[in-house]
Structure formats: C-alpha cells, structure tokens
Amino acid sequence: MDQRNISRGIALKMIYTDGYKIYTTEDPAVQAAIDSAFDNPNMFYTEWDGTMIQSSMVVFEHSTGAVRGLIGGVGPKEGALTLNRATQSHRQPGSCMKPFGAYGPAMEKGLLNCGSGIDDNQFTMGNWTPHNWYGSFYGFVTVRDAISDSMNIPAAKANLLVGDEDYCWNFAYNCGLTSLSENDKSAASLGLGGVTNGFTPMMMANAYGTIANGGYWIKPKLYTTVVDRNGNIVLDNSAVDGKQVMKDSTAYMLSSCLQSVVTTPVLGTAYGAVSIQNGSIPCAGKTGNTNDDKDRWFCGFTKYYTIACWTGYDQPVPINRGYPYDSTKLFNSVMNMICEGKEPAEIMPQPSSVRSVALCRDSGKVPTDACNADPRGSRVLTDLCAIDAIPTETCTVHEFVNICNVTNKLASSSCSNTSRKSCLVRSAPSQGQYPSDWGYTKPTETCSGNHSGSSASPGNPRVTIYRNGVAQ
C-alpha cells in the first residue's frame, strides 16, 4: 500500500479482482508442522469450563529474513481477517527481554562476558525493590548462570551497569523490538520486561533471530513478489533489508548463554523440556513469564530457524500452571519436526573476536590464590570473553584474612588459635534477607581475644541464610 500509495480497501479489492499472484515465503512443510502441533489438544491447558488457553507462533528463517510459517491462534479459524496474534497481539515479554535490555548492551560495551560475576543480592533503587522468581538470592553468580535460571536481580544490575538508558533502549529497538515506548527506559522495563506496549511474536522472533544471525538484523518478510495477471512484477520484495546491529562477539556470547538455558541441569529453565533431534542439533532459547503469570513465552533458535511462541489468554488472567510452559512444549514439538533430516550443526561458528579465558566465577576478574582457596573449592572457571574486553584487573571479591577459630571473627593480636582463610568481600544487604553464599563472607567483627577453647561453633546465629527460598 505504501509503495503504490493506495488505501487498504483498494489494495484488497485489487488482490481479489485483478488476478494478482502473491509469492509468499511460507514453507508448506514448516506450516504443516505448526498446524500439527497446534491441532494437538494435549499441548494446551484447558480450564474446568472447557476454555482453552490461546497461543501464537512465528517460525523465522533468520539467515534470509523469510517467515516460513506462523499461526495466529488456537482452534478453528472462524472467518477471514480475524485476529492474528502472531502479528497483531502485543504482549509483555517478561524475561525474554533480558538479552536485549540488559546483558546484550552490557556485553556490547565490554562490561560483561559469559563468566562475569554479578551479586544476586537484594537491593533497592528509589521505590523499586526487584525480586527473584524463586524468592531468595544466590549471591555471586555468573552471567551464564543468571541467564540460565532467569534471575531478575542480576539482569537489573546488568542494565544499570551500562549506565546509559538510551544505549540499552536503542540496542533492543535495533534488534527489532520496535514497539518500545520512550517510557521504557528503566531497568524494570529493559532489564525485566515490564514494557508499555509489549511485543508481537513476530517482533520477538526477529529479535532472537538477530542473535542467531551473528548480530545481523534482517527485516522479516512474508512475500517475495506480487505479479499481475500478465506476469508483470507489481511488487518486488526479494531483496534482503538488513544491517549489523551488534558485534559478532556479543551475539556469540548471548547464544552460548542461551544454550545453557536448555542444557544446564537444575538451573536451566528449559532443561529437560527442549531437546532437538535428541540433542544432536544445538538449540538456544529463553523462557519468559510476567510477574502476574499472564503471559508465557519461549523464544529460541537452532542454526536453521528461530521460533517465538506465546501462550496466554486474550483477556489477560493468571495462568497459574507449572512447568513446562505450553509455549516451551510447542517450541520443542515444532522445532523437532522442522529440523528432522537436518545436519547436526553449531548455531554459529565461534568468531575470532571471542576466546575462552580463566576467570574468578564470583568477580569475573583475573583469579588469584584466594579464588583457588575458597572453602567451597576453587572458584576459577573458563568461559567466553570478547577479546577487546578480557579482564585485566585481579579479583577484588576474594581476600585472605586471619580468622579466630574460637569465635569465627577476624583474629586480633590476642588470638592464638587462628586460620588463614579465603573470604568474600562485600557489603551486607540493606534489608534483612541474606544470599545463600553469605556464610563465606568476611566477618565484620574483630575478636576481642577474651576467650577460651579450641574450636568455633559453626555459623553465625544472627544471620539467616536462604537457599531456594527456605531459611536454613
């Protein structure tokens, strides 16, 4: 309509009466796989009154920009030009926003890598106190672990670390999330997905496809050409409209972390729910859920396709069902069908801009002897870094201190029974809930030396440690 400068009504009339042929990008085999999954009632929650949850999906070939299949809803189509939820319904993305509004921008600026440490620890900024879905705090975690378990505190901190809300906003927008509002520049919006307008599955497929395509964004297309009854080309949409919107190093590190969502036991929120061709075809993805559980997503990709799938109700109400999400099951079913017979292949080759580096998993910096001597075992890991952002500063989270073995406080000159221990150095949270690794933190009190005995009582009774939301 824009190219021909005509109205929608006139365009529809010309399509129906002028003998036009539209050559779409649909792959019949892909569309058949989508239809098969969505025709299976076992894929969906059904309420006591028979009401079935709604869903939509887009299958995007990220290497070409072609939309190979989509579906706009569950159940029989009841008319022409009805609501297509895949392209028309904007819904909150939840944690599916984190790669674009938090970790991606921080990686792009060289502030974070896969092994960077972030303190999953309670904090308040103004009137906002974010919480984790699991109701507790792990303490120091890596970016990879934070993405795998969809942790909210590290995502918010990653967004704030960038220190430039416009930068984060533009990063997400350039990946295809074009319904972002000027009001969506806070860490709550960009880091945790509480955006004003929401996104369609088409937008989410486009954004995740940009990661899968090495950071090269391509505008999705539903058709290639339109010809008239004489075979003359009326519209030519065959050219690729794309641009590089993030470094290949950022795309590769995000892809690697998103693979951990699928492959990491216990932590991975899609572990056990997504496996493509019995694990022979690598897959990356992200679960997404809103605070009130009104929207559930799974967005992910293989080398061959990107899929975005949403489930929820047209009139948003809490879903309140357990794992795995319907969206995850649908993704797994469709991706398996459309990848059948495909060669096992990595999502993308590792670019020369990325290499593996030894890091302290708590600080994300160059490890020291204190990192190796952590009482839990060595905290040194090897993970991916962009070569232009490899840390050079040594770890400041671990420190050797002398501990009085009788009181578990910092040893004074009067203490004769002491041990040299590696401890974590951090401030106490401003509120009362401590992270699960708090027991390894450097004591704040110094022993007076007025004691007797040969060993300390374990722990600190004044500190409540939470693991998986349960006080220990």
Give whole-number Cα distances, 373 to 367, 380, 427, in Å.
11, 10, 21
DSSP alpha helix (H) spans, 128-200: 143-148, 152-162, 165-174, 187-190
Omega cis (within 30) before 28: no
| pLDDT of the residue at 452 | 60
Q: 307, 57 in Cβ contact below 8 A?
A: yes
| pLDDT of the residue at 77 | 76
Q: In the chain, what are the helix, strand and coil shares in percent, each to the nearest 5?
A: 25, 25, 50
| pLDDT of the residue at 378 | 97
- Please name the amino acid found at residue 431: Q
Distance CA 265, CA 278 (A): 16
Sign of CA dihedral 69, 73, 74, 79: negative
- Please name the amino acid found at residue 75: G
Distance CA 223, CA 237 (A): 7
Give whole-number Cα distances, 101 to 129, 131, 273, 292, 325, in Å.
18, 17, 26, 20, 23
Token pair, residue 435, equals 């992270």
Token pair, residue 76, equals 């029989």
Token pair, residue 292, equals 């009130």
β-strand partners of 86: none
| pLDDT of the residue at 115 | 97
Under DSSP, is residue 147 helix (H, G, I), strand (E, B) or coil?
helix
Distance CA 390, CA 149 (A): 25
| pLDDT of the residue at 467 | 40
Mean pLDDT, the chain cut into blocks of 10 residues (472 residues total): 72 80 97 96 78 92 98 84 92 97 98 97 89 92 97 97 97 98 95 95 98 98 94 93 98 98 93 95 96 93 98 89 86 98 96 97 97 96 97 96 93 93 89 87 90 49 37 38
| pLDDT of the residue at 62 | 98
Under DSSP, is residue 167 helix (H, G, I), strand (E, B) or coil?
helix
| pLDDT of the residue at 470 | 40
| pLDDT of the residue at 3 | 66
| pLDDT of the residue at 460 | 38
| pLDDT of the residue at 428 | 82
- Please name the amino acid found at residue 432: G
Q: 118, 425 in Cβ contact below 8 A?
A: no
| pLDDT of the residue at 8 | 78
DSSP alpha helix (H) spans, 302-377: 326-338, 369-372
Q: What is the DSSP letter of 446?
A: B
Q: 423, 440 in Cβ contact below 8 A?
A: yes
Burial class (CB in 10 A: 0-12, 13-18, 19+), 433: middle
